[in-house]
Amino acid sequence: MISAGEDPLYVARRLVRFASEDIGLADPQALAVTLHAKEAYDFLGSPEGELALAEAVVYLASAPKSNRVYAAFGAAVKDVERSPHEPVPLSIRNPVTPLMKELGYGKDYQYAHDFAASTTDMETFPDRLKGRKYYEPGAWGFEKEIRKRIEWYEALKARIRESKDGERKETSKERA
């Protein structure tokens, strides 16, 4: 493409897009590699900077592929477009005025770091979207690790729901 007269920064832009859209979290380093290649090209110019772009091409060609984040993002955008005015749950709204507090803003908010596992099972989606999952990791590359993490968190949250007090740890306010 460069030999045919294409702007090398256009090539870099396409590589960055490819890293985000077609490789995604199967290899999160792909995005960093392409951005570094673009920076190297900016710094060195032609012809030396073209080698950095070539390295990025080889990296992307050999990386595991996944468009799962791209698909999840598209599904989330469609939900927003279908129903753009879904209310944020009251529990995660900040009660900055006495009236907001009276209306229930922040009621039952669970600060993750007040709990032994540093997470909660608190619902943060609007009612219409409760339980919705957008991202489902694939079976390749780093997404295998992400799948393990998600499964671990899901099991942890299930245990929290089953426990009487959500494994809450004592906060500094409660000790005082």
pLDDT in tens, the chain (176 residues): 999 999 999 999 999 999 999 999 999 999 999 999 999 999 999 999 999 999 999 999 999 999 999 999 999 999 999 999 999 999 999 999 999 999 999 999 999 999 888 989 898 999 999 989 999 999 999 999 999 999 999 999 888 888 855 445 544 455 44
pTM of the model: 0.79
User: What are the structural domains of the chain?
Assistant: 8-62 (1.20.272.10), 86-171 (1.10.3710)
Cβ atoms within 10 Å of 98's Cβ, excluding its own: 8
Distances (CA, A) of 111 to 107, 114, 133, 174: 12, 6, 22, 14
Rounded-to-10 torsion of CA 89, 90, 96, 97: 140
- Report which of 172, 160, 141 is spatially closest to residue 27, judged by C-alpha positions: 141
Burial (CB < 10 A; 0-12, 13-18, 19+), residue 137, is buried
